[in-house]
Amino acid sequence: MKIALISANIGGFDRVHVHEKQNVEYEYYYHHDDTTDHHLVPYNVHHLSSRMQAKYIKLQAHMFIYADVFIWIDGSFEIITDDFIEFMITQLVYGEIAMPLHPKRPNAYEEMNFLISCLDENEKYVSDRYKGIKFEHELDFYMSNYFPVNYPLYACGVFARLNNEKVNKFFDAWWQRCLEFSEFDQGLFSFEAWRHEIKINSFPFGTLDKYLKRHKHLVD
């Protein structure tokens, strides 16, 4: 089984982390935009924002990387143990995607209402990132498509997933929704996972504390 560990740091948002070497064979794809020492950003997304360029790598790895399994970690994470990949592969045995549940909100509806409220109140972190995005449109889209309120919300910064036709079609649809709505992808992940009937093996977000250290972004 070929395993690809993938991350991206486009626009200097994060420090470059030296990850703990893993106890299984894998290939590391670290996409960066200002050094030839790492994998460069695919040419066809250079017109997009830095966050959307990184999101293309996150959601469309099957278009330019060959592997049986893709494991994604956001650029803010540092792997601190040698068995992180082993853990993620073990979790993937029980699903087509393995990932943590969102640590704060249970579903996409609460997430959208939270973001709308933060923008209304001009909360700095959310406003700096998402000012001008009409999350009301995304919320209306969920309701008009009868998206179940009780479908879980996931933390999309870390996941393992299979590379097969069904899962790739889901990731293609997720990418298209991000282009349609916004770079904020978590609610859209849940919607398309529901629509494509993806089998997700989830675990509490705190489980990752053993394996990963999260660093503050250099740029918010």
Classify 3-214 by CATH class: alpha beta
Would you write out the chain's pLDDT as a tens digit for each of its 220 residues? 999 999 998 877 778 889 999 999 999 998 876 654 455 666 577 788 888 889 999 999 999 999 999 999 998 999 999 999 999 999 999 999 999 999 999 999 999 999 999 998 888 888 887 888 889 999 999 999 999 999 999 999 999 999 999 999 999 999 999 999 988 999 999 999 999 999 999 999 999 999 999 988 766 5
Predicted TM-score (pTM) of the model is 0.93
Closest residue by Cα to residue 110 from 156, 158, 147: 147
Domain ranges of the chain: 3-214
Q: Give the DSSP H or E segment for 79.
A: strand 77-79
CA atoms within a 13 Å half-sphere pointing along the CA-CB vector of 196: 21
